[in-house]
Amino acid sequence: MVKRPKVISANTMSTGIQLEDEDKMQWEHEDWVGHKLDLPMPYEPGAVYEYSSGGSNLLTGVIQKSVGTYLPLFFYEELLLPMEIHDFQMLTSPQGRGYLAGSFYMRPIDFTKFGLLVLNKGTWNGEQMIGESWIEKSTTPRIKGSWPKNSDYGYLWRVLEREVGGKQMMTVEAWGNGGQFLIIITEIEMTITMTGGNYNLFPDMEDRPFSILNEYILPAVQLK
């Protein structure tokens, strides 16, 4: 048995802890963070990429303890409110912790603002909301992901390469269940938002939006 991981490995989906049954975790346990930590640990931290909602949700416990306040309120006051995002829903656990692995709802135009925040290196309306160094660190490849095969993964960001206007460019992407996609192309200061409702259809939920992206949107980009 190996040692328990530092929680930072949750950023790269490589805690080493056995993959949880997310539905069972939420319906049968009150402490979702504790449940994940109680599972067996077959791998060394940082060694194996395995997409895990329960693993990324470990960050909930870290942030909650650090800020010492109700997490949805902290998130709203410190990040959403300055970005003029007022309509959102955030899932909370039976213990009142905000769930940081999904089930977060906002308008597509507000979702797009996070792409602009990354393009502006963490700055919004002249205010540094997120440290520039963290934007750089989080979007730097850290581990090889499993889907797409041999793709790169940063800190909760997929770091891919796509053909944009006939040229290969790095993209920074967030993918969500159902067809929620945020695609950021820093080289041309472009961000693309897509939403959908094809929940739990893997990989079918990707087919239509990525077909539109690769066949119509990206080839139409005019490069200088």
**pLDDT > 60? residue 5:** no
Q: What is the CATH number of the domain that holds 164?
A: 3.40.710.10
| Residues 200 and 167 placed together within one structural domain of the fold | yes
Q: Name the domain boundary from 58, 89, 105.
A: 105
| Residues 83 and 170 placed together within one structural domain of the fold | no
pLDDT of residue 3: 46
| Residues 221 and 117 placed together within one structural domain of the fold | yes
Q: Is 133 helix (H, G, I), strand (E, B) or coil?
A: helix
| Residues 139 and 78 placed together within one structural domain of the fold | no
| Residues 148 and 206 placed together within one structural domain of the fold | yes
Instruction: Give the separation between CA 162 and CA 214, rounded to whole angstroms.
Output: 8
Read off the amino acid at residue 35: H
What is the greatest pairwise CA distance in the chain? 55
Bridge partners of residue 127, in order along the sequence:
124
| Residues 189 and 87 placed together within one structural domain of the fold | no
Bridge partners of residue 176, in order along the sequence:
180
pLDDT per residue as tens digits for the range 162-184: 999 999 999 999 999 999 999 99
Structural domain count of the chain: 2
Give CA angle at 55 (210, 157), nearest 5°: 35
Q: Which domain holds residue 89?
A: 1-105
| Residues 180 and 100 placed together within one structural domain of the fold | no
pLDDT of residue 108: 97
pLDDT band at 2, cuts 50/70/90? very low
pLDDT per residue as tens digits for the range 131-160: 999 999 999 999 999 888 889 999 999 999
Q: Tell me what percent of the residues of the chain surpass a pLDDT of 90.
A: 84
For range 86-93, the mean pLDDT: 95
